[in-house]
A and B are shown apart, each in its own frame.
Chain A
Amino acid sequence: MKISRIHRTARGAALAAALLVAAAVCPVSGDAAAGQDRRIQTMVIDPGHGGMETGAKGKFGNLEKDITLAISLKLKAIVERNMGFEVVLTRDKDVDVSIENRSAIANNRKAGLFISIHANGAVQKKAAGSETFFLSLNATDEETRRLAYLENNSSELQSRLDPSSDDDLMMILWDMAQTAYIKQSSRLAELVQEELDAMLGTRNRGIKQAPFKILTGVACPAILVEAAFISNPAEEQKLASADFQAKIAEAIYRGLARYLRVPE
């Protein structure tokens, strides 16, 4: 797995650079201070899939990529109307955008929040409901131990930081920052999921952690919303309706607003 190592190290270095910049915008505060003052200037909405990559397919021919774009455009409009920050989409039409480029858009624009919109797909036709994901790092035993050590010895880590810092150290830093963002991501996921549950009338599948690629590269709190199942014929038809899409966008906005403590 040497290739993987090199690949990861390179990615770690690139992202660590973005992280150092992003750290100023995305304060890596503890959960105690969470919600007090989040000066977010830019948020990124990521309509899942696109172009050749259709995502999950419904029985009636609806494609995940089209539904995610429709919901994302509606969410962007609501947020821009009600909140004072810039909203950037990772795509605003039906085009292929690589996962790396999606994260890069968020990191280059110094996004303070990242919301990826998806429609779920399961092998079981009956699978139904809404769920919100945040990142699980899927750390191996060794990495978990290393992280635990470094989290308990962060002052020591800082004193060891110098310009000759190698990629490995940058990678560790990246993992640490991700760990910090995970607490905020978890809170955002919880609030968004509550609103989805209140507004959609779909089964509440709760908040979950998963090692989703799109969430691994983003240097700020990030969630992935699975609005409903396109693989379930009844939910597919709901997902395809503009009315239901608007409800999803509104629910995500309300969760976001509660997270930011902005009066609705």
Chain B
Amino acid sequence: MTEKKQGGVSRQALILGGLAVVLLVLVILFFTGGIGEKVKRFVDAAVPKASDAAGGQAAAKTVTLFFLSDDDDFLHKETREIAAGPTDAEEAERALVELIKGSEKGFVSPLPPQTKVRQVFIGKDGLATVDFSRDITEKISYGSSSELAAVYAVVDTLAFNFKPVKKVVLLVEGAEKETLGGHVDLSRPFLPDYSLVAR
């Protein structure tokens, strides 16, 4: 009688233990599966992985950013180190974050400092799509000059540093916008324009 009872208890424990293992496996699968999907979303097929070439270490990449100067109307180059890899899109995102953060040499960023880079996608056709938070339109009242500077600082920064990028489209909060502030047409992709850059 007691034996039978004990056997029942151990069988129960066995079933419970088995269930726990299955649950654990499911949980692990759930999380690893999730990561796999996230990576897939950001992986850019057209782009070689820079970190592989650099030996996989926390390599740095030097990028050139384009800022305004208080003394003239041109864009001025400033170099900055960012973390390298794994994809061009991720590096591009870091470069734009630095562009928004501003200059370390007394230049001025044409983008409002509150602006966030939501995502950068680089397609096989060389079209880079940059999605900014609404701050890029709401935190500044643009005139023609400041709006042109904002657009081309972004376009030139991407095209100058990332070989696969041939043209750039700007989105705001994931959607197409007519203009940032009533002037520059955002419906067509931009080619870089280095005529605005100081020599």
Chain A residues lying within 8 Å of B108, measured Cβ to Cβ, are 123-124
Residues of A in contact, count (CB < 8 Å): 42
Q: Evaluate contact between B146 and A141: CB separation under 8 angstroms.
A: no
User: Chain B, 116-153, contact with A by CB distance < 8 Å: what is the 0/1 string?
Assistant: 00000000000101000000000001111110110000
With both chains docked as a complex, state the minimum distance between the C-beta of B159 and any C-beta of chain A, in angstroms.
12
Q: Is B110 an interface residue (CB 8 A)?
A: yes
Q: Is the CB of A213 within 8 A of B110?
A: no
CB distance from B111 to the nearest CB of A (A): 10
What chain B residues lie within 8 Å of A214 (beta carbons)?
183
Contact B143 A56 (CB under 8 A): yes
Contact-residue size bin, chain B (C-beta under 8 Å from the other chain):
35 or more
How distant is B151 from chain A, measured CB to nearest CB, in Å?
A: 9
C-alpha gap A213/B187 in the complex (Å): 9
**Do the beta carbons of A54 and B141 come within 8 Å of each other?**
yes
Q: How far is the CB of B146 from chain A (nearest CB, A)?
A: 5
Q: For the complex, is B115 an interface residue (Cβ under 8 Å from A)?
A: no
Kindly provide the distance from the CB of A11 to the nearest chain B CB, expressed in whole angstroms. Answer: 8
Q: Does B191 contact A (CB under 8 A)?
A: yes
B184 touches A1 (CB 8 A): no
Q: How far is the CA of A118 from the CA of B181 in the complex (A)?
A: 13
Within the assembled complex, what's the spacing in Å between the Cα atoms of A4 and B187? 7
Q: Is the CB of B144 within 8 A of A133?
A: yes
Query: How many angstroms from the CA of A210 to the CA of B195 in the assembled complex?
Result: 12
Interface contact A216-B185, CB-CB below 8 Å: yes
Instruction: Please list the residues of chain B having a beta carbon within 8 angstroms of any beta carbon in chain A.
Output: 68-73, 108, 110, 127, 129, 141-146, 148-149, 166-167, 169, 176, 178-179, 181-191
- Shortest 5 CB-CB contacts between residues of A and residues of B: A121-B143, A56-B143, A213-B185, A122-B145, A120-B143
Q: A54-B141, A55-B181, A211-B190 given; name 4 further pairs at CB < 8 Å.
A: A123-B149, A124-B72, A139-B188, A213-B186
